Amino acid sequence: MERRSFLRISGAAMLLSLFSSNLQATNSLLNHGDMVYLECQGDVPGNKWLDGRTANGTVGLAPNTSSPYTGTKWKVYEVDDGMFAFKCMGNVDGSRWLDGRTADGSVGLAPKTSQQFTGTKWQVFEVDDEIVTLKCMGEIEGSRWLDGRTANSTVGLAPKTSQQFTGTRWKVVKA
């Protein structure tokens, strides 16, 4: 009986270490000053490109990165060790900072990254070659993972990155 328990615990520890090694915060894929596009890897057909809409402060998914979708280009800022902010480079004046709103699970654009806009800080986890998940570090508890919903071109926060939330995986494409 003791041997069986030992094997179970050893196996669980090995699986945990394998899983945690694949989900490491990273800054090797994203660097301060990079210009990137983020392509949602959701498995439902639909628009896939993260698009900041600076005119009204919303975020959604666009069908491509060409005009008129200028909000699909993002400038990366490393704001703390391992924490990033993403500035929308859209042509229209307005709010620009990717902002996760953990209280209600929504995502929009904030006018700045300070004070009450704690959802503008993101932790980046590399899960595969050029594929990341983005965890909102907002101070209020709630859903945290950037989730592209390709079926209806919306973006929100998911409570986890498991199979049912395939839109939480993003391909980083350098601009």
CA distances from 84 to 7, 79, 105, 135, 159 (A): 40, 5, 19, 10, 20
CB 88 within 8 A of CB 100: no
pLDDT value at residue 25: 58
Tens-digit pLDDT profile for residues 20-33 = 334 455 557 999 99
**Mean pLDDT taken over the chain:** 88
pLDDT band, very low/low/confident/very high, at 81 (cuts 50, 70, 90): confident
pLDDT value at residue 8: 40
- The pTM (predicted TM-score) of the whole model is 0.85
pLDDT value at residue 27: 55
DSSP conformation class of 119: G
Region 47-63: what's the mean pLDDT?
Answer: 98
26-174: what CATH class? Answer: mainly beta
- Distance separating alpha carbons of residues 50 and 88, to the nearest angstrom: 10
Is the predicted pLDDT of residue 97 greater than 70, yes or no? yes
- Distance separating alpha carbons of residues 173 and 97, to the nearest angstrom: 19
pLDDT band, very low/low/confident/very high, at 16 (cuts 50, 70, 90): very low
Tens-digit pLDDT profile for residues 136-169 = 999 999 999 999 999 999 999 999 999 899 999 9
Contacts of 23 (CB under 8 A, 6+ apart): 125, 127, 133
- Distance separating alpha carbons of residues 129 and 150, to the nearest angstrom: 21
